[in-house]
């Protein structure tokens, strides 16, 4: 057995430091990733949810019922943003994603309180987002009137979409977006950078091919791959985890298409920034992690500070999550979710233009 | 005689480095024009500017009557550029690579297969259409690259060190292809480090540190060589060299086997006497004046390079 040479190990390590020092992007990431991520996520991620969008139907309309609604608002868990006049209307508002919580106070509310016939009222909860259900649980024991001695079951909680609370039902639709966000961006960014690394690009840019032709041609195969992946995820969700598909598949596939091209355009943009596949991977990761953590997939969107919410509104994943949960779990139509669709289109157009303008058919 | 390439004070800087320095050149249509010069002298940068891939810092270039800065995309239809590094797709087969190039140049689809087969036959790849390009030998890769770059029948070909990775037999064959194309009117600009290849060119330009230091036909360059070449034979050839290189009248020496070539300043009227007189009696040597070769031209033209080594900037898209 030969002994390891410390000098040789040091030679290899020292050479590695040289590589890192020459690679400015990677060098920047060494400090950049921990700083940006820690500050951003430490500041942004908050499991304590506040100000969920809500609406109330108060059929009792007494001083006690109004006081209950005021108490609910004072809890800061919810804020009333819409008005409704029937339970059907509440359900509709929830299905289209305009509110997450509906409060229904029945006409005999006063009587129920007097006879302590719980529950006094009902909470309709959009449980296509698992975070919301947890957040409203605290509301269910809201005291009514002056009876503060015990914690009454004031509200009956009615989860609308996943009453058995099976995790797969929450996770699978969101996973469609999360997986595509990673694979699509990575595939496209690496596909172009690879041409540059291998010297193919110098040949390509000497031909009459136009930048936009190159970009579009590059993403078409990945659009198909995106569709394949999303179909696999959905199929597995249905077969293995019994995920219900309540909306129409057409809506789902249209929305997926828009989402896929918006993520692909991001990949193209990254490919114009990165010089090597290694750099492309790092930059992709830099864009993936915030989307994963801030889009509402893992942590409650409503719990984040306003500034971070605005940032997260830029991410394609944020909007796609809302769309896909709406279509698959809440039987919402794509047209009722158009407010989430156009940001994806806008993202695609802006990023694609940016990528095409950055990609020059020149070497300088 | 029409002109395929014409440049006026073509200059390109990379930061402080002047990669190409006020180059004026003129390449007649249908000729094979050789580009010589030490590594990093600006050959590739010049070609990239002539292809419209790099913008000149100043000066201009007209290629096939097209201004390379104003209309690079139009130019790209009519030229072919074979990069120094193999730039086809190694994970595609020979035929797949050519099909791709054919579609990019929008060559007629109806005759595409015949066209590609004919090209493969011509360049000796007819027996391996389904082989992955990455598994071809150096000579085969180079023939495939030539087949790809000539598929759209360009009027002008840029070849950047096309033969640096191939054996002498393949080089000879490669030059036959070039003469064929030149015969049919294609202009070819080729860079090389091989003097035998330089001799085959119709005209040559020698670049040194970005500047054009000599150009003309090989015969003219030899005739105009500002030096006399003396061949020296001696038992102690290294010691003779040591003694001669110190002389002000000796520009450079080169040892070739057991012989030494000394390039002597042309002002010295009797070069053999001049050299003999500087050697002591302990160093007997026999000398004769011989005809210069292109290597001598190259050495004289690029003398300055030794004090002034530049680096070819690595340019990535």
Q: What is the ipTM of this complex?
A: 0.78
Classify A76 as helix, strand or coil.
coil
Confidence of residue B310 (pLDDT cuts 50, 70, 90): very low
Q: Which residues of B192-219 are buried (b: 16+ CB within 10 A; e: fewer)?
A: bebeebbebbbbbbbbbbbbbbbbeebe
Distance of residue A196 Cα from the nearest chain B Cα, in angstroms: 7
Asked if A24 is an interface residue toward chain B (Cβ–Cβ < 8 A), one would say: no
Distance CA A340, CA A318 (A): 9
Do the chains contact at A363 and B88, CB–CB below 8 Å?
Answer: no
Distance CA A111, CA A65 (A): 11
Look at residue B91 and tell me whether its pLDDT is greater than 60. Answer: yes
Paired with B58 in beta bridges are B11
Best to test chain A binding among B55, B103, B317 (most A CBs inside 10 Å)? B317
Confidence of residue A269 (pLDDT cuts 50, 70, 90): very high
Look at residue B78 and tell me whether its pLDDT is greater than 90. Answer: yes
Measured between beta carbons, the chain A residues lying within 8 angstroms of B91 are: none
More confident: A299 or A190: A190
The mean predicted confidence, pLDDT, of chain A is 87
Distance of CA B280 to the CA centre of its chain: 41
Distance CA B140, CA B123 (A): 9
Measured between beta carbons, the chain B residues lying within 8 angstroms of A206 are: 51, 53, 76, 79-81
B163: left (phi over 0), alpha (psi -120 to 50) or beta: alpha
More confident: B86 or A23: B86
- Write down the number of H helices and E strands in chain B: 11, 14
Distance CA A117, CA B256 (A): 112
Cβ burial, residue B269 (10 Å; 0-12/13-18/19+): exposed
Span B255-280, mean pLDDT? 86
Kindly give the pairing relationship between strand A52-58 and strand A101-105. parallel
Span B27-31, mean pLDDT? 94
pLDDT tens per residue, range A227-242 = 999 999 999 999 998 8
* Least confident among A19-23, B40-44, B227-231: A19-23
Do the chains contact at B104 and A209, CB–CB below 8 Å?
Answer: yes
Classify A250 as helix, strand or coil.
helix
Could you tell me the pTM of the whole model? 0.80
pLDDT tens per residue, range A4-47 = 888 889 999 999 888 888 888 887 888 888 888 888 888 888 77
Distance CA A229, CA A175 (A): 11
Look at residue B313 and tell me whether its pLDDT is greater than 50. Answer: no
Write down how long chain A is.
364
More confident: A167 or B44: B44
Do the chains contact at A206 and B76, CB–CB below 8 Å?
Answer: yes
pLDDT tens per residue, range A315-337 = 999 999 999 989 988 888 888 88
Measured between beta carbons, the chain B residues lying within 8 angstroms of A355 are: none
Span A70-99, mean pLDDT? 88
Distance CA A7, CA B42 (A): 40
Do the chains contact at B52 and A362, CB–CB below 8 Å?
Answer: yes
How many other C-beta atoms lie within 10 A of the C-beta of residue A17? 9
Q: How crowded is the C-beta side of A334, counted as CA atoms within 13 Å?
A: 14
Question: What is the pLDDT at residue A364?
Answer: 66
Distance CA B67, CA B8 (A): 11
Look at residue B312 and tell me whether its pLDDT is greater than 80. Answer: no
- Write down the number of H helices and E strands in chain A: 14, 5
Confidence of residue B308 (pLDDT cuts 50, 70, 90): very low
Look at residue B153 and tell me whether its pLDDT is greater than 90. Answer: yes
Query: What are the distances in angstroms from CA A56 to CA A81, A155, A187?
Result: 9, 13, 46
CB-based contact A184:A224 (threshold 8 Å): no
Beta-strand (E) ranges in A132-231? Answer: 155-159
The structure tokens listed for A317 are: 């994943």
Distance CA B180, CA A58 (A): 92
Do the chains contact at B54 and A360, CB–CB below 8 Å?
Answer: no
Question: What is the pLDDT at residue A146?
Answer: 58
Distance of residue B104 Cα from the nearest chain A Cα, in angstroms: 6
Question: What is the pLDDT at residue A148?
Answer: 53
Q: What share of chain B is helix, strand, coil (3-state, %, to 5)?
A: 35, 30, 40
Beta-strand (E) ranges in chain B? Answer: 3-14, 17-28, 32-36, 58-63, 66-67, 79-82, 156-159, 187-191, 203-208, 211-216, 228-234, 250-256, 259-264, 285-290
Kindly give the pairing relationship between strand B3-14 and strand B79-82. unpaired
Look at residue B309 and tell me whether its pLDDT is greater than 50. Answer: no
Backbone angles phi, psi at A41, to 5 degrees: -75, -35
More confident: A22 or B99: B99
Asked if A196 is an interface residue toward chain B (Cβ–Cβ < 8 A), one would say: yes
Confidence of residue A1 (pLDDT cuts 50, 70, 90): low
The residue written with tokens 């080729």 in the block is B190
A165: left (phi over 0), alpha (psi -120 to 50) or beta: left
Question: What is the pLDDT at residue B276?
Answer: 87
Q: State the virtual CA torsion across A220, A226, A229, A232 in degrees, nearest 10.
A: -90
More confident: B47 or A130: B47
**Total beta-carbon pairs less than 8 A apart between chain A and chain B:** 62
* Least confident among A143-147, A208-212, A338-342: A143-147
Confidence of residue B183 (pLDDT cuts 50, 70, 90): very high
Question: What is the pLDDT at residue B169?
Answer: 87
Distance CA A199, CA A217 (A): 19
Question: What is the pLDDT at residue B305?
Answer: 42
More confident: A115 or B7: B7
């Amino acid at each position: 057995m030969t002994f390891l040479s410390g000098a040789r190990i040091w030679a290899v390590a020292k050479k590695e430091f040289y590589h890192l020092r020459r690679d400015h992007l990677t060098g920047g990431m060494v400090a950049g990733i921990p700083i940006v991520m820690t500050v951003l996520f430490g500041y942004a991620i908050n499991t304590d949810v506040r100000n969920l969008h809500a609406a109330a139907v108060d059929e009792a309309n007494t001083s006690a019922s109004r006081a209950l609604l005021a108490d609910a608002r004072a809890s800061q868990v919810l804020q009333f943003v819409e008005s409704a006049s029937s339970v059907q209307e509440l359900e509709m508002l929830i299905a289209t994603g305009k509110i997450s919580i509906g409060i229904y106070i029945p006409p005999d509310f006063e009587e129920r309180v007097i006879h302590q016939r719980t529950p006094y009222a009902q909470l309709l909860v959009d449980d296509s987002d698992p975070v919301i259900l947890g957040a409203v649980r605290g509301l269910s024991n809201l005291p009514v009137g002056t009876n503060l001695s015990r914690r009454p079951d004031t509200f009956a909680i009615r989860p609308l979409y996943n009453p058995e609370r099976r995790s797969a039902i929450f996770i699978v639709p969101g996973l469609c977006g999360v997986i595509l966000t990673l694979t699509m961006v990575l595939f496209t960014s690496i596909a172009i950078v690879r041409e540059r690394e291998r010297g193919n690009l110098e040949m390509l840019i000497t031909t009459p091919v136009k930048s936009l032709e190159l970009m579009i041609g590059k993403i078409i195969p990945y659009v198909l791959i995106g569709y394949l992946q999303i179909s696999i995820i959905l199929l597995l969700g249905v077969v293995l985890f019994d995920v219900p598909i309540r909306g129409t598949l057409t809506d789902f596939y249209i929305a997926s298409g828009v989402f896929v091209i918006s993520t692909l355009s991001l990949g193209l943009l990254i490919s114009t920034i990165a010089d090597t596949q290694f750099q492309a991977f790092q930059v992709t990761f830099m864009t993936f992690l915030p989307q994963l953590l801030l889009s509402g997939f893992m942590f409650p969107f409503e719990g984040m500070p306003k500034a971070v919410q605005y940032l997260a509104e830029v991410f394609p994943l944020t909007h796609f999550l809302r769309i896909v949960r709406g279509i698959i779990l809440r039987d919402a139509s794509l047209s009722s979710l158009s407010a989430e669709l156009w940001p994806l289109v806008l993202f695609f157009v802006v990023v694609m233009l940016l990528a095409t303008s950055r990609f020059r058919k020149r070497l300088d | 005689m029409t002109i395929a390439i014409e440049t006026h004070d073509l200059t390109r800087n990379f930061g402080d480095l002047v990669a190409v320095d006020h180059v004026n050149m003129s390449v007649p249509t249908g000729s094979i024009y050789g580009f010589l010069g030490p590594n990093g002298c600006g050959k590739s940068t010049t070609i990239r500017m002539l292809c419209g891939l790099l913008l000149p810092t100043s000066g201009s270039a007209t290629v096939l009557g097209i201004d390379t800065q104003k209309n690079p995309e139009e130019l790209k239809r009519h030229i072919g550029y074979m990069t120094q590094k193999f730039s086809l797709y190694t994970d595609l087969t020979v035929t797949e690579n050519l099909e791709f190039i054919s579609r990019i140049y929008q060559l007629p689809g109806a005759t595409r297969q015949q066209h590609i087969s004919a090209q493969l036959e011509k360049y000796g790849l007819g027996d391996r259409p389904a082989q992955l390009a990455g598994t071809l030998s150096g000579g085969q890769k180079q023939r495939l690259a030539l087949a790809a770059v000539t598929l759209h029948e360009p009027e002008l070909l840029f070849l950047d060190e096309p033969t640096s990775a191939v054996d002498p037999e393949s080089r000879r064959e490669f030059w036959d292809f070039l003469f064929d194309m030149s015969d049919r009117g294609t202009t070819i600009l080729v860079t090389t480090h091989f003097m035998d290849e330089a001799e085959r060119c119709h005209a040559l330009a020698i670049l040194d540190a970005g500047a054009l230091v000599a150009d003309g036909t090989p015969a003219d360059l030899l005739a105009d060589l500002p030096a006399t070449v003396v061949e020296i034979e001696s038992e102690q050839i290294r010691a003779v060299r040591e003694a001669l290189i110190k002389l002000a009248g000796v520009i450079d020496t080169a040892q070739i086997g057991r012989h030494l070539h000394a390039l002597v300043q042309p002002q010295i009227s009797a070069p053999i006497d001049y050299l003999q007189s500087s050697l002591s009696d302990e160093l007997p040597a026999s000398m004769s004046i011989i005809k210069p070769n292109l290597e001598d031209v190259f050495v004289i033209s690029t003398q300055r390079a030794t004090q002034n080594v530049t680096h070819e900037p690595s340019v990535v898209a």
